[in-house]
Structure 1
Amino acid sequence: MIGPIEPKASNGHRFILVAIDYFTKWIEAESYASVSRNVVARFIKRDLICRYGIPADIVTDNGTNLNNKVIFELCKEFQIKHHWHDMLPYALHGYRSTARTSTGATPYALVYGMEVVLPMEVEIPSLRVIAEAEVGEAEWARHRFDQLNLITEKRLRAIYHGQLYQRRVKHAFGKKV
């Protein structure tokens, strides 16, 4: 949920309820004047279940309008798993390993100087995983040391990219439509 947004829209709406598919990143969103547990349940039924079918899982934050008896009953009725705390590490992993438009890099790369090895790269080995598996320990350590030496450059590039992004957004926002 996003909001409250000020100033409110001409229709009086101040909140946006958002659902994002974990795999495809497809997004659904609706604006509302207020977001009660019944509004959330209606959004899940009308905008998610009726359009795409019943999801296996729903991951939410622990907001009272998202974690209550109405939502519990809805999840029970449709056999939807709603254990947000179990999924939090996966949500964090997804966020940290997804490139941000504002920086042009993943948060993981900006912290560790390299991209994270994704679970699917281990199950179906990627070229990167295969190449690293064939490298000796000393060569791997040298390569990792080189990556860490370049981390400052990556971070500076991300700062520059962020500044350019902010200028573009400011310019686009300032245009008269």
Structure 2
Amino acid sequence: MGIRAAIERKIKVLEVYGDSTLVIYQLKGEWETKDPKLIDYQKLVLELVKEFDDITFHYLPRDENQMADALATLASMINVNRQEDVKPIQMSIYEVPAHCYNIEEDEEKDDHPWYHDILQYVKNREYPDQASKNDKRKLRRLVIDYVLDGDILYKRRKDQVLLRCVDAVEAKKILEEVHEGVCGTHANGFTMARKIMRFGYYWSTMEGDCVNYAKRCHKCQIYGDNIHVPPSPLHVMVSP
């Protein structure tokens, strides 16, 4: 389609870029064409090439062709019936995700914990700045499972047990104590998450953070294959 469009505009010198190694090198004559479908395609393109004074084919890696892929995806999502319906599309590229959850202390650049928006709505019925109508609806649906007691926010589980919401600093301390503290057993991430919830604490990315913390534990990596060898000395616990 692009070559035919160039012929209609009476273009005589053309450079063609494609992200398909097979098609580009077959059109350049460096690779042999054996597929019957591609043979017909090659014949058609070679006939169209005769209309140009100079035409060259270049291979473009897909990593360098992300904008074309994005435009092709947008084109497949739009149904256009008339030429007048086509309007310019404004695109902007963000260097960082629009929204993410992370308990790392240095990631919280706005000095607010992950539950700040929930706390403000439960306490003062205030929405975040520049929140859309959809964001407000999601926030109202989300706060149903949260309870405020004084200045402490709690997450209500399905069994009506309240879990205290903690920020990044507290979450980091809890991970260290549960995994490798005095009573820590160097459990895997999912076991750690369930244990933390039994202790009465909660944060939004608790399960994923527990899994990542267990993966980065040096002792767990060393003793991972020795299933009967404890990674640290065991502490005897006597019941009262």
Which category describes the TM-score, using the shorter chain as reference length?
under 0.3
* TM-score, normalised with respect to structure 2: 0.19
| Bigger helix share | 1
Considering only CA atoms, is the larger Rg found in Structure 1 or Structure 2? 2
